[in-house]
Amino acid sequence: MPLSVRKGEKFTVLYVSGTWTVDVRNFPRVGPAGYGAAIDRKIFQPCKFVAGQPFGKLLGRIGEGGTAFPVGTGGTLTAPDSGTLFLRINDADHCLGDNGGEVSVAMAGDDDDVRHPISRQDFDDYCRDQGYEEGAVTTGSDAYSLRCKNSDGSLQVFNNPEDIHNFVGEVCQSAYPDIGVIDRLITMKGTYSAWECMNRASYAGVPDLQGWCESRGLALSHRADAKYAAYGWTCANADRTHSEGISVGMVCKSQFGQDSLDRVSNVRAEDIGDAWDCRYVR
């Protein structure tokens, strides 16, 4: 699915798996970072699509006539123009006949149009509208510590971890009555600022974290010391001397397309399906 971006917009491209070569007969396959200098200078230089970048590097350009720019293994980039993002190998069009292999990437726009801020005042207004005279308060320093408070000092009661999401979802609906929104937890490291609202979305499925790790030549692993179990998943090698964090948002986009977002529903859940889901948002 193509990714359309606006000039100045931040977008993300992340390498998932695969290798390719600019010459199946003479040169090995490499990842999207391209060839090292020793091999690069052995290749017929006029065949480069972008002269200043190594052969085999992943390139991007906005629009059919846009100027190519390096992407490599990916990261967060800024769109130089508005249009559709195209990706290609650094090898000129007339030299592609002896290429081989392919690489897979996940792409994501900034989603600004489907994500909406929510403020402390929004929480306070909602609590007072529900009859809690003291408005909204925090009982700790993380995202799950928000409560409405009565004038007698008693607090709103949540019977299970999911109740906080129902509560924030109602605050979102109160703050954006004309859109149709649900809650989205950004981080546990905050209270009011830890939350945002996003457009009401249909369920896409459970993010395949294991498949994501395997596509990178690693195995899914869980850190037993994780403060919040939902955030304890990593990709690691067999002896766990190397590990990589997992962007669940990128997993959702690679699995269900760019019009999906990750959503955590219970940070204390140890089962991926209980902790995370992917949602279609457009």
Asked if residue 18 lies in contact with residue 103, where contact means CB atoms within 8 angstroms, the answer is: yes
Measured N-to-C along each axis, helices 163-175 and 120-129 cross at an angle, to the nearest 10 degrees, of 100
pLDDT score recorded for residue 107: 87
- Those residues with Cβ within 8 angstroms of residue 215's Cβ, 6 or more apart along the chain or in another chain: 16, 17, 104
CA dihedral sign, ordered 180, 183, 186, 189: positive
| pLDDT on residue 96 | 97
DSSP class of residue 38 equals H
Distance CA 160, CA 269 (A): 11
Strand order in 100-108's β-sheet? 74-78, 10-21, 100-108
pLDDT digits (tens), the chain, 282 positions? 578 888 998 888 989 889 999 999 999 999 999 999 999 999 999 999 999 999 999 999 999 889 999 999 988 899 999 999 999 999 999 999 999 999 999 888 878 789 999 999 999 999 999 999 999 999 999 999 999 999 999 999 999 878 999 999 999 999 999 999 999 999 999 999 999 999 988 999 999 999 999 998 899 999 989 999 999 999 999 888 889 999 999 999 999 988 899 999 999 999 999 999 999 987
Confidence at residue 148, expressed as pLDDT on a 0 to 100 scale: 98
pLDDT value, residue 69: 96
pLDDT of the residue at 1: 59
Helix or strand holding residue 120 (H, E): helix 120-129
3-state secondary structure 163-216: HHHHHHHHHHHHHCCCCCEEEEECCCCCCHHHEEEEECCEEEECCCHHHHHHHC
pTM above 0.85, yes or no: no
Residue 101 has φ and ψ, to the nearest 5°, of 85, -175
The CA dihedral of 52, 58, 61, 64, to the nearest 10 degrees, is 110
pLDDT at position 272: 97
Quote the CA–CA distance of 103 and 252 in Å, as a whole number: 18
